[in-house]
Amino acid sequence: MTKRTAPYGSWESPLSAELLTQATVDIRYVFVDSVTHEHYHIELRPSEKGRNAIVDAHGKELSSTTAYDARTRVHEYAIGCAVARNGRVVFPDFTSFDVLRTDKSSGEWSKAVSVVPRHPAYRYGDLEICPTEPDLLVAVREDHTIDEPSKVINSIVLVDMGKRETIMTLAGGCDFYTTPKLSPDGKLLSWIDYNLPNMPWDNSRANLAKFDTSTGLSDVQSIDGGLEMSYSVSQLRWSIDGSHLLWLNDSTGYYNLYAREIQSGKNDLAAGKALAHDAGAVDWFLGQSSFASLTDDLVVLSAQKSGVFNLVSLSSRSIIASFDTPFLSGQQIRRVTDEIIVLVGTGATTQSVLARIDLQLSDGKLDASITVLKETSSIKVDEGYISRAQALVAPSKAAPGMHESKPLAHMFYYAPASKDHQGPTDELPPCIVRCHGGPTSSAVSGLSWQIQYFTSRGFAFVDSNYGGSTGHGKVYRDRLQKNWGIVDIEDTVACVEHLAKTMIDRKRVAIVGGSAGGYTVLASLCAYPDVFAAGCSQYGVADLKGLADETHKFESEYLFGLLGGRPSEVPDVYRDRSPIYNADKIRSPLLVLQGEVDKVVPRSQAHAIVKAVRANGVECKYIEFEGEGHGFIRSENIRTTFDEQLKFYRSVFKIADSSDATVHVITEV
């Protein structure tokens, strides 16, 4: 079939904004009942105003628990959260601030009942049902009685679900607690804690103590990490028989799996050697899982990027086998039985799915059979419309970090792709450059319909993994320390300059990002007004001191490391790197999208930059979404963000609108 030649960015596409929201869900959390071996997942449904629903292994929602939203408010990021044991499911309800329990009997779920003292100031997450006394619940509790970051109290508590009483506080005194896990016999409790100004990936500590349901904890000991160490720990959990405690540790420069033999008290690299790649992501959210204890001896460990999974033997401290999967990224890896795991995986040209992997180990050979249990989207398009990620690097002008000679900027590049269209031979495509949030986070290379929405219309798309991003080791991650607003900008510009040599039209480049990525958008428009022809900031940071004063507890001192001190210590840095004080340098049109009730980056940040840019006579459109927080989860609002961006980029780049760009009528604030 002959392709029709048409200007880049003007192509018609089967991927409408409406299709992207009505036909998709987001699987954010997977959990397994270790007694019945039934697995569940929590899916965010944009079509139900972003509600998080619990779905069982048969695809059936817990129907008797209507009008719930299974996500935690701990740390404000509202991620799915639940736990199951012996036919009982317990989960926090985002709407009511409650924790609910439902039990399965004769195939039916009981009416959900409250199991904690209901209090609008209490938030619960990282739930753990006691294996010996099923009415007892261990949980992280965040107390907002005085709702100021420095006065919010985090702790680990023991709750009697039958009496709806908090029996005792098990651990307190640190700023944050995560991952409380009881040993299989219920006699030991492990957890991770850390203190501000550290984030969990800067410095954190793994702990172990004897646990008694009547007296609480005794013989508390720190087993790894701590204030005197310059590394972090993550994803603490038990082996199947309780003989080992497992966790990730980045002291080698990458997150590697460690094992502690409980009897001897000795910590070792579980694979016998350090691997030169991260085995997990940093802990922005509770409940992450990039490995699973399969048997008393074997652990399945993801290599994260390559689709390869390793089988680690605890007894021999070695990798005894590996298997390939089509998944470029694997998350929420959970054990079902000795030979079955479930996970959420995304391929290069296949959407994110909930998958089951059956493993058979025989004579040193490992066979893996993959079954797709749930697709996150019903979108079906010809592969001709799908653009594959190309991993590229570009030399950066940013100052080299420690142990670096010539800094490189990492990125994923997506070329325009269409089954029906091609661009003119004398034209290069316009480009959209996206800066991820965090900033200590990353862009991944699996199929994203949000990216394909633009590439299938003739736009090139770039995901910038600037210095400070995760997935490239601790040295690369630490490049952003004291240098936020410098390294991220220089690396993103380096990506553009590299691609502009032969692959994209340097005069038609837009920059987009959310949260910390929105900050990089605004700061880049200030620092390099001639590089970016347009910008789209989604709930982005404009005033760094204002953010330090207003944001939530979890990130209340995050900036101190990123900028090199407190506002009182380095006031010039906060002012000089704040877009609000450099807004007179912004000359390119700007689109600003913001959630009304955002507690992470309050809407005052958006209001300030919009006012400043408009005062300088620069085109600036502002849309505020009622009821949305930090990130947009309602289908009608997600549709608007895509339709408005498409209209905005086409207008700035002078590309004629095609008939598929349906723009929803909205009210501009």
The residues spanned by each domain of the chain are 289-378, 381-653
The pLDDT value recorded for residue 119 is 86
Q: Is the peptide bond before 7 cis (omega within 30 degrees of 0)?
A: no
Give 23-45 pLDDT, tens digit per residue.
788 998 999 999 999 999 999 99
The pLDDT value recorded for residue 664 is 33
The pLDDT value recorded for residue 401 is 62
Residues contacting residue 364 through CB under 8 Å, at least 6 positions apart: 320, 321
Looking at domain 381-653, its CATH class is alpha beta
Give 102-146 pLDDT, tens digit per residue.
998 878 888 899 999 878 899 999 999 999 999 999 999 999 999
Q: Where are the beta strands (DSSP E) in 297-403?
A: 298-302, 308-313, 318-324, 329-337, 340-346, 353-362, 365-375, 390-395
The pLDDT value recorded for residue 402 is 56
Q: Is the peptide bond before 326 cis (omega within 30 degrees of 0)?
A: no
Give 265-278 pLDDT, tens digit per residue.
999 999 999 999 99
Burial class (CB in 10 A: 0-12, 13-18, 19+), 262: middle
pLDDT of 658 above 60:
no
The pLDDT value recorded for residue 574 is 98
Burial class (CB in 10 A: 0-12, 13-18, 19+), 555: buried
- Name the phi and psi angles at 458, rounded to 5: 100, 10
- Name the phi and psi angles at 321, rounded to 5: -165, 160
- Name the phi and psi angles at 428, rounded to 5: -105, 150
Q: What is the mean pLDDT of residues 203-215?
A: 96
pLDDT of 22 above 90:
no
pLDDT interval class at 65 (50, 70, 90): low
Torsion angle defined by CA atoms of residues 174, 179, 182 and 188, in that order, rounded to the nearest 10 degrees: -40
Query: How many whole angstroms separate alpha carbon 439 and alpha carbon 443?
Result: 11
**Which of 92, 127, 115, 87 lies closest to 103 in space, CA to CA?**
87
The pLDDT value recorded for residue 403 is 56
Is pTM beyond 0.95? Reply is no
pLDDT of 663 above 60:
no
Give 499-548 pLDDT, tens digit per residue.
999 999 999 999 999 999 999 999 999 999 999 999 999 999 999 999 99
